[in-house]
Amino acid sequence: MCLGMKAPVAKILTLALTVGMAAVLALGTFEAAFARQKHRAKRPPAPVITRDYDGTPIIMKGFRRPPPPKEDDQPAQRVERPRQTPRGSSTYIPPPVPSPYVTRPTTVLPAPPTQVYTPPPINTYSDRVTNCIHSFPLNRGLGNNPTDQQSYIRQCAN
């Protein structure tokens, strides 16, 4: 054999081994899957479930759903009857007769209305200064009052 023939034979051999391994793996996987299917346990039959008229299962013991209304049946309508009121009957109940032994006051005075609470005015230093500023134009220089505003405010507020 020549050297040129060795290279294709090696490729063919490698290809054959690869295909063989793939076949062995596929066969092993198939056998495992087939074996799993064989040994599967059979399920017990499903219990009998009572179903109502539209196929909904009834799971509460003793519960029966009423059958659906038939299309021909219509709900019974109430017949209006004229109401008769017997003559001479009255619902008026007279007030009880007061006892002659109980004395009642002759005049009842109404309670005085409640007033809104107004707190007493607070006289702070700031309030006194504001009042002095407002009174300066009228009281300037009268009696012992100074004529300049700052002195007047100090004297008036204290």
Average pLDDT over residues 40-53: 76
pLDDT of residue 131: 92
Structurally, the chain folds into a number of domains equal to 2
Q: Which band of pLDDT confidence, cut at 50, 70 and 90, is reported for residue 112?
A: confident
User: Would 27 be classed as within a structural domain?
Assistant: yes
- Whether the pLDDT of residue 120 is over 70: the answer is yes
User: Would 58 be classed as within a structural domain?
Assistant: no
Percent of the chain with pLDDT strictly greater than 90: 13
User: Would 48 be classed as within a structural domain?
Assistant: no
User: Would 34 be classed as within a structural domain?
Assistant: yes
Containing structural domain, residue 21: 1-41
- Whether the pLDDT of residue 140 is over 90: the answer is no
User: Would 93 be classed as within a structural domain?
Assistant: no
| Tens digit of each residue's pLDDT (9 = 90 or more) over 74-101 | 666 777 888 777 676 567 778 888 777 7
How far apart CA 52 and CA 56 sit, in angstroms, is 6
| Tens digit of each residue's pLDDT (9 = 90 or more) over 27-37 | 666 666 655 55
Q: What is the pTM of this model?
A: 0.26
Q: Which band of pLDDT confidence, cut at 50, 70 and 90, is reported for residue 7?
A: low
Residue linked to tokens 């008769």: 84
In SS3 terms, 138-155 reads as HHCCCCCCCCCHHHHHHH
User: Would 50 be classed as within a structural domain?
Assistant: no
51 SS3 class: strand
